[in-house]
Amino acid sequence: MDLHYTDKQNDFRAEVRSWMADNVPTSPLESFDTQEGFEAHRAWERKLATGNFGMVTWPKEFGGRACTLIEWLIFEEEYFRVGAPGRVNQNGIFLLGPTLMEYGTDEQKAKFIPRMASGDDIWAQAWSEPSAGSDMAAIRTKAIRDGDHYVINGQKTWSTRAAYADWCFGLFRTDPDSKRHRGLSFILLPLDLPGITIRPIPQLNGQTGFAEIFFDDVHVPVENCLAGEGEGWKVAMSTAGFERGLMLRSPARFQATAGRLVELCQQNEKRVSGHVRRKVLDAWMDATAYTLATYQTASRLIAGGKIGSEASLNKIFWSEMDRSMHRTALSILGAKADLMSHAAGADGVGNWLDGYMFSLAGPIYAGSNEIQRNIIAERLLGLPR
């Protein structure tokens, strides 16, 4: 065990810090769940790519820096320390990217990863269907082989970023006679193909972070299938591992929230009760614990380990921590907490309300926390199904 950064890691931190100081937008961008904000965030992704910061863990030929996961954590810390914009391409860089690295052919990597790193392709997810939410193996949308194409028919929903994204990845049933986990394939496709209809879904904050995707005889080349026909479930579980276990929610994000919450508490010291004060301490302690746990996971992966069902422990921890931190902030703000972020008198505190609404989704997306608790009980503890 050695809990010191190497000189190389410290140099890397200094380089990121200096680049961020020169390049991070001085005022916050509009939400990426609006058309204008989406394009502003794409421009930021392109800016990041000019510094080769699109995804630092990727090989240099794909636009990365061949960094270790520890350096990725350092990058994330510097990123959140200055409040840099949210990653509009998180589905791509944090979920599909690592999955492509593990399962993609050389051609697939060369085709998709550099454009992902550069912000040219922004990715949406296409997992859930109206009848396949927590029960993802109930997927019905078919992708039937016809020569060198799949013909897709059906419907996806809650597709994150699909309102404005360029491409999507998801699970489709390539064997129409198959049941449950078998006969599913992991397919990547552009969202402007003929036969695709996208219907944005207004969410809690009025914006369209997700959408429904309707497929009507959509033709997709067979080379867009990842890891072979029928292997979709295995690939999806790997993506879910990254999502729950490591990359989607890097610890620095929560440390930044906890830091702002401590400040908010200090500013309101006179009216904050002991109970609320303890909640603020919990925010700091939990964000710290999550950070340490992630350094442990990163160290283990660097040593050749794999992410397993313990990713479910992580997902529960960060999602419930995030909700609790924002709720605590709202309790400190009182009536001001309910002002819309752009409204008169909100003085910027509306960000906490936006954050709270977003945090309510955390225990649901990426596999609901009830499903995660089942996974822990059955696979880690060995309780009967």
The site that binds another protein (CB under 8 A) totals a number of residues, namely: 61
Cβ 29 to another protein shortest distance, Å:
20
| 95, two tokens | 């979920």
Say how far apart CA 285 and CA 128 lie, in whole Å. Answer: 34
Cβ 296 to another protein shortest distance, Å:
5
261, burial (CB in 10 Å: exposed 0-12, middle 13-18, buried 19+): buried
Closest by CA position to 69, among listed 286, 306, 310, 287: 306
Task: From the candidates 76, 78, 129, 243, give the one annotated as an active-site residue.
Answer: 243
Say if residues 270 and 336 touch (Cβ distance below 8 Å): no
With binding defined as CB under 8 A, does residue 304 bind another protein?
no
Nearer Cβ to another protein, position 45 or 310?
Answer: 310
Say how far apart CA 67 and CA 59 lie, in whole Å. Answer: 8
Say how far apart CA 355 and CA 340 lie, in whole Å. Answer: 12
Q: Which stretch binds another protein (CB under 8 A): 33-41, 105-113, 125-133, 291-299?
A: 291-299
Pair type for strands 210-221 and 225-226: unpaired
Say if residues 153 and 217 touch (Cβ distance below 8 Å): yes
Say how far apart CA 194 and CA 222 lie, in whole Å. Answer: 17
Residue 112 amino acid letter: F
Binding positions for another protein, 55-84, rule CB under 8 A: 70, 74, 76-78, 80-81
Binding positions for another protein, 10-29, rule CB under 8 A: 13
Determine the 3-state secondary structure of 28 from DSSP: coil
Determine the 3-state secondary structure of 272 from DSSP: coil
Cβ 229 to another protein shortest distance, Å:
35
Nearer Cβ to another protein, position 303 or 344?
Answer: 303
Crossing angle of the two packed helices 311-333 and 232-245, in degrees rounded to 10: 40
Concerning whether 39 is annotated as a catalytic residue, the answer is no
The DSSP call for residue 226 is: E
Cβ 19 to another protein shortest distance, Å:
15
Say how far apart CA 135 and CA 367 lie, in whole Å. Answer: 9
Closest by CA position to 89, among listed 48, 133, 138: 48
With binding defined as CB under 8 A, does residue 295 bind another protein?
yes
Nearer Cβ to another protein, position 94 or 215?
Answer: 94
Cβ 200 to another protein shortest distance, Å:
33
Closest by CA position to 54, among listed 119, 9, 125: 119
Nearer Cβ to another protein, position 77 or 212?
Answer: 77
Per CB under 8 A, the list member of 38, 210, 317, 356 interacting with another protein is 317
With binding defined as CB under 8 A, does residue 373 bind another protein?
yes
Nearer Cβ to another protein, position 132 or 293?
Answer: 293
Cβ 329 to another protein shortest distance, Å:
14
Crossing angle of the two packed helices 7-23 and 69-81, in degrees rounded to 10: 30
187 strand-pairing partners = 170, 225
Binding positions for another protein, 237-276, rule CB under 8 A: 251-252, 255-256, 258-259, 262, 265-266
Nearer Cβ to another protein, position 164 or 317?
Answer: 317
Nearer Cβ to another protein, position 113 or 247?
Answer: 247
Cβ 335 to another protein shortest distance, Å:
24
Q: Which stretch binds another protein (CB under 8 A): 36-44, 144-152, 225-233, 309-317?
A: 309-317
Sites of contact with another protein (CB under 8 A): 1-6, 9, 13, 70, 74, 76-78, 80-81, 251-252, 255-256, 258-259, 262, 265-266, 277-278, 280-281, 284-286, 288-293, 295-296, 298-300, 302-303, 310, 313, 316-317, 370, 372-374, 376-378, 380-385
What residues are labeled active site?
243
